[in-house]
Structure formats: C-alpha cells, structure tokens
Structure 1
Amino acid sequence: MAESTCEVEGYDMISKELKERLGLDKSPVAIKFVLREEDIPEGIEKIDENIRHCEMVQRAAQGAMFYATNDEQMCKGGASAIGLMEAPEKIKTGEFYQSLGRFSSLGAAKRTLEEIPKIDPMMKAVIYAPLEDIKYSPDVIVIICTPVQAMKLAQAMVYTRGGKVEASFSGIQSICADAVAGPFTKNTANITMGCSGSRGYADIKEDEVIVGMNGENIGCVVNALVSMK
C-alpha cells in the first residue's frame, strides 16, 4: 500500500491490517446507516432481541452481523443519537441524566446534551458487522481498543497531513453519540472514554477506550499504519 493514497484492496484486508498492526483482540465494527429497510443487503438478518446500541457494537466486534431498527434498540437515548428516532423529551431536557445523578442541575445536564453530537431522526435501520465481513462501504468504523492502540491510531490519522486528533466526550452517550454520530456528522475521528451504560451493559473493560472514524477515511489510516515506523 502506498503511503500517499487512500486506496485499499478490500475491507477484509483493511481489517486484517488493523488487527495485526494494532494487536486488536476484536474486530473493527462497520456501521452502515439505512434510509429504507429494503436497501439492506441480502443475507443480513434483523437482530432477534432488544438490546442497546453499545451491546450491538460489542456483538459485531465479536463476530456477529445483523441490522436493527428503532424497535430493537433498548436504549432510546442511543437510538436517538444515531438517527433512528426523535429524542425523548426527558433526554432532550437533560432531566433523565440529572435523575441518574450524573449532573448537579438541570442546566448542566441540558447544556451537555445540547453539545452531544446527534444524527437527524431520518434512519430506518443500522447495520452492524465485523469490518472484514462487509461487501459495502461503511459509514462509520468503531474500534474497541486499549489506550496504546488508540495512540497508534491517532498517530496514523495525523501521519500524512499532520494536525491533532479530537477526543470529545462527557461520560454519557459514548458509543452512540461520541463514537458514531460525531464521526458521521463531522467527518472526523473521535476518541471517547466510554460511559456508565457501555461499561455496565456492553462489557467495555476498564482498560479499553473507543475510537470512532468516518468510513471514508479508513484507507488513509491503514496506509499510514503500514508506512509508520
């Protein structure tokens, strides 16, 4: 692979390079947004249970491929962040998170929710899959990794053009808003520390962080990893 291009040979090879060069234990997760359910590629089945978005990402990292509509999303805060529904009123106002003891006041909660990235409620479904198994272009790629692995990813992101990598988070709506909605809407990578929900329900470990990247840029990142010393 040439260091000056973003051309790639296929998502199976991209996933292989990411796993080998970063030492990942789990697969990078390919997220694909679907405006119409009939546009879901043939052979991808709907998940048959109701769980949270962060749990779905973890399932895909461990090898599962499926799609989910809003009906299968147990966490409606996560579902609204990734564009499957309008946010419930108590989430928009911050009341829900204040009631959990995350904020000292409604004002602090609401100001935080206003800054958290979100996708307009326009999506019909979301496809979750290991990166190596897809035959389509992903919108977002999520990697569950250690801080050292995230550091190497950050180095690859700035290898060609320089600059800095953003780490924007508030400890809530981490894998949904920080790692998926942010990269999708802003076309930039983000590193997030997780949240109580993802660590409690999706089994994100104490020594793991989450990196979200726009799928359009993954070729540049992989080529940089190959070229870096």
Structure 2
Amino acid sequence: MDIKNSVDLIESYLDLDRKPVGIKFFFDKDEFENFEIPQRNSKVTYCNSVQLASKGSAMKLTKENQACPNGAMALKMKEVPEPMANGKGRFSKNIYKDVETSKSISDEMQFLKEEPVGIVVMPLEDYKEDPDVVVMVSSPYNIMRMIQGHGYFNGYTNNLKTVGLQAVCHDLTTYPYNTGDINITLLCPGTRLVADWQVDEIGMGIPFEKWNEVVMGVKETTNPFERNDKKKGIEKRLKERGLDASGIKFNENYDDGSYTGGKIDIG
C-alpha cells in the first residue's frame, strides 16, 4: 500500500491526536539539498522537531540546527565525549549508582554509525519516497495496539530497549534504524521538558520496512481486541475517509466467555 493509504488506515483504526512522523537520513549532499521542504533557519532539539512534525510541520535539519548535544551525538552530528563514553559524565550527575552502570548505558545505546549530511523530519503522510523510521507518540492504549499489530505477524516483542534517557533520538530513531526492529519508550525528562509531550504519552519507533506490516496487524486484530465503543469510532472514521468498514464485527472479542464472577458493562 502507498504511504498516504497506510496513514489513512492507522488514523482510522486508532484515534490519534498526533500524526505519525517520518524520519529520513541523507548521506548525499545533492539529494538532501534537492529535497523540497524548507531548511530550518534556527536551532531546535531533535525531539522537538519530531513533536512539531507530529502537529504538521516539516523541516530539514543539519548539524548546525542541533540544539541538544545528546541528540546530536545519537545522530552522529557530534562526537561522544570521553566522560559520556566512559560513564563518568552521567555518574557525576548521580543518575546511576556507579561508573560501571553508567558506562553500560553508553555501551548499550546504538547511535548512527555514519554522519548524515542532513535529516528530514515531517509528517509521514507527506512523503512521496520511503523514509527510514516512523515515530509515533501517543497514548499507552494506542501504543499497545501497535504492539499487538506487530505481534500479529511477528509474535512476542523480544528486543524492547529503553532506560528513560535519549528517548526520541535513540529509543525511537537510531535504535530502530540500526536494528531493523521496533522499540517503545516511556520518554525522558529532557524531551518532556523541551518538546512538551503530554504526561500520559509514550512513544514507538518503527523501521519503515515494518510500517505497513504493523498497520495491517492493527487492522487484523481490531475485532478480537477492540470493544464495541472503540469499534463504533473506527467504523465512523473509516467511512469518513471512504474506506471499507464492512469488516468491523461488533459483539465479538478474543476473551468472550473467559471471565467468571461477572463483568462491568463496557458496551
């Protein structure tokens, strides 16, 4: 399916407050310069650029635009300083109990291995060519549904990695890019400050090659996992977009008849 159709589907099957964001790395200067969206004319943290794109903005970023040293390190636009690499930097701020634990965090993070000429950050629906990573920040419920969509085709999610630091730049971007696997994050204090995410939002990063699969998995697991009230909203959004809603089945779920002792009225 094309990118626009995939976004129409996920925005129908999930009630999203933010747009899925596509991230594309450029390693060729001419290709980057010829990509027809505006170059950011001031500094911005990478995570805030993602937040802005989730509300409709589109921008190209270079090394000169990076406002956060940790984000720049993850994106290979700044070298990792020795105090960060050896663990002494974070340990000195009392984030971890000892230098060894602090160093293990740096050792485990998977940053870009090659410095890009530039990065495009914009709503996924605006791409005509494939991005590298899709980032979604949403409610825990919607991220749960995305995990279930991934599980439909792939089974158990074994490789989730997060520690409450470098949440958007590493957890949602460079880790999925490097591993080819999905990841989730509970975000981190830094991005919650500078990008102003809502207190109940978490994130998911998806390599683009897995994006359509996850979207189709969400669609296929709608009838077993969604309750009637959610299904009514899905049906309405599908019809509003001119999409087929005939597959929505009410009054059936994966756990029908499983519980004893009564249940609340959930519609």
CA displacement at 1:107 relative to structure 2: 2.4
Aligned to 1:30: 22
CA displacement at 1:130 relative to structure 2: 0.2
CA displacement at 1:134 relative to structure 2: 0.9
* From 186, 189, 205, the counterpart of 1:193: 186
Pair 1:180 & 2:173 matched? yes
Aligned to 1:143: 136
Aligned to 2:102: 109
Residue-by-residue CA offset, 1:111-170 (whole Å, 9 max, x unaligned): 111111211142111110101111110100000011110110000001123232543111
Residue-by-residue CA offset, 1:2-37 (whole Å, 9 max, x unaligned): xxxxxx1x2112112122211111100000000023
Q: Distance in 2 between matches of 1:37 and 1:203?
A: 32
Pair 1:13 & 2:17 matched? no
Matched residues, number: 221
Q: Quick check: 1:28–1:141 contact (8 Å CA) kept in 2?
A: yes
Q: Distance in 2 between matches of 1:99 and 1:196?
A: 18
Structure 2 counterparts to residues 28-107 of structure 1, below 5 A = 28-40=20-32, 41-107=34-100
* One-letter amino acid of the structure 1 residue matched with residue 100 of structure 2: G
Q: Distance in 2 between matches of 1:32 and 1:42?
A: 11
Q: Distance in 2 between matches of 1:88 and 1:121?
A: 17
- Structure 2 gaps, min length 5: 224-267
Pair 1:153 & 2:166 matched? no
Q: TM-score, normalised by structure 2?
A: 0.78
Q: Report the CA distance shift for 1:52/1:15 in structure 2 as closer, same or farther (over 3 A).
A: same
Q: Report the CA distance shift for 1:67/1:95 in structure 2 as closer, same or farther (over 3 A).
A: farther
Which one has the largest radius of gyration? 2
Q: Report the CA distance shift for 1:182/1:42 in structure 2 as closer, same or farther (over 3 A).
A: closer
Aligned-pair Cα RMSD in Å: 1.5
CA displacement at 1:200 relative to structure 2: 0.9
Residue-by-residue CA offset, 1:40-83 (whole Å, 9 max, x unaligned): 24321211111111101101111011110111111121112123
Q: Quick check: 1:86–1:121 contact (8 Å CA) kept in 2?
A: no
Higher relative contact order (CA 8 A, sep 6+): 1
Question: Sequence identity, in percent?
Answer: 27
* From 187, 195, 216, the counterpart of 1:202: 195
CA displacement at 1:221 relative to structure 2: 1.1
Q: TM-score, normalised by structure 1?
A: 0.91
CA displacement at 1:109 relative to structure 2: 1.4
Q: Distance in 2 between matches of 1:108 and 1:160?
A: 35
* From 115, 119, 144, the counterpart of 1:126: 119
